[in-house]
Amino acid sequence: MATTASTLLKSSFAGARLPAAPRAPSSVAVAAPRGAGPICASASSSSPPYDLTSFRFSPIKESVVAREMTRRYMTDMITHADTDVVIVGAGSAGLSCAYELSKDPSVSIAIVEQSVSPGGGAWLGGQLFSAMVVRKPAHRFLDELGVAYDEAEDYVVIKHAALFTSTIMSRLLARPNVKLFNAVAVEDLIVKQGRVGGVVTNWALVSMNHDTQSCMDPNVMEAKVVVSSCGHDGPFGATGVKRLQDIGMISAVPGMKALDMNTAEDEIVRLTREVVPGMIVTGMEVAEIDGAPRMGPTFGAMMISGQKAAHLALKALGRPNAIDGTAPAASPAWREEFVMSSKDDEVVDA
C-alpha cells in the first residue's frame, strides 16, 4: 500500500496524460410546500436537512470567537517564524510552486501575500475577460488538479480563470504543512553573509502607510529558502529582485521586453532558478530580472515555472526532487523537461 508521502510526491508530469475531470451538475434545493417538513438546503444528499422554518445556531460567546482567531493566528506566526520555505506572492506561479512543494509533507511552507485576496492576475484572463488559455503540455497540471477545459490541438481553454485559482487554492490550503498569510507585505529580505535567509514582514495596511504615521517596525520570518513570485513590474511587482539590486546582490533589473508569447513562456521556465544563494525567482519576476519578453494572457509558463521553482527549493533543502532525478515519481521525460529548461549555472549574476 502506498504511503502518504509517496502519494503526495506524485506529480502531474509523472506518467501519461489523464482525462480532465468532468464537472458534476450542482444539486438544486427545491422548496417544500408549507407544512411539508424540513427543507434540505444542502447540495449534498448525505448532509442532514436543515429546518429553515425554525433555524437556530448554537450559542457562542463573542470572546470565544476572538480567542480562537487570535490563538490560531499567533500559533501560525510562532510556527513559521523559522520555516523551510517562504513563498512571496500568491499569484499563479506562487500557488503552483506551493502546491508542488507541499506534496512533501515534511516541508513547512509559508505563503506571504500582500493582497487580501490571493491569486494575483489569475482570477481573469486577458483584458478582464473570463477565459484562461493554457498552452500544452501545461494542461497536465490541470488534469492533476481536476480542472475541466475545452481542448484544442496546441492549447486548452478553461471557461473561467477563477476555476483554476479557486481549485488550486482549496486543495493547497487544506494541506497541513501550508499556511497562507494574506494581507501581509514583505518589506525587506534577511541577508546574512551573502545568503538570503528569510523575509521582513508587516501588515499590508501598515506597509502602505509608513509615510502617514510614525515608525511602525516590522516582524521577520526566517527561512532556509525564499521563493520570490512577485509578478511583473508595478507598484507591488518584482519587489524581490528590485531589493536584490538595491543592496548590490545583483547588478541590474532591466525589465520585461515587448510581448512575444512563443518566446516568453519557454524563457520564463528556462530561466527560473536560484538567482542568489537562498532565493529562487519564479513567474513573471523572471522576465523582469532577465529582460525576457512579456507573455500576455497565457498562463502555462506560470504553472510550470512555479513547479520548477518548487523542485529547485527541494533540491536546496536536500530533499528528493525532479531537477536531479531523485524524486521517486520523476520520470525521465519530466527530468529532461526541467533540466533542458535550466541554465548551466543555477546561481548566476543578473
Report the DSSP pairing between strands 219-228 and 279-281: parallel
- 169 assigned binding-site residue: no
Check the annotation: does 114 bind a ligand: yes
Is 143 annotated to bind a ligand? Reply is no
Does 208 count as an annotated binding residue? no
Contact 275, 244 (CB under 8 A): yes
329 is in an annotated binding site: no
**Residue 126 marked as a ligand binder:** no
Q: What is the DSSP string of 191-239?
A: EETTEEEEEEEEEHHHHTTTTTSS----EEEEEEEEEE---SSSTTSSH
Backbone dihedral angles phi then psi of residue 226, each to the nearest 5 degrees: -115, 130
Alpha-carbon gap, residue 284 to 92, rounded angstroms:
10
Dmax (CA) of the chain: 75
Residue 216, sorted as left (phi over 0), alpha (psi -120 to 50) or beta, turns out to be beta
Sorted by sequence, the CB contacts under 8 Å of residue 7 that are 6+ apart come out as none
At which residue does the C-alpha cell 500544452 appear? 136
What's the N-to-C CA distance of the chain in angstroms?
47
Q: Where are the beta strands (DSSP E) in 230-312?
A: 273-276, 279-281
Residues 15 and 331 sit within 8 Å (Cβ to Cβ): yes
Q: Is 93 annotated as a binding residue?
A: yes
SS3 349: coil
Helix (H/G/I), strand (E/B), else coil: 132:
strand
Please indicate if the annotation marks 302 as binding a ligand: no
Tell me the C-alpha distance between 124 and 302, whole Å.
14
Contact 139, 158 (CB under 8 A): no
- 193 in a labelled binding site: no
- At residue 157, φ and ψ (nearest 5 deg) are -130, 120
Q: Which residues are annotated as a binding site?
A: 93, 113-114, 121, 186, 217, 232, 284, 294-296
Q: Which residues are annotated as a binding site for substrate?
A: 93, 113-114, 121, 186, 217, 232, 284, 294-296
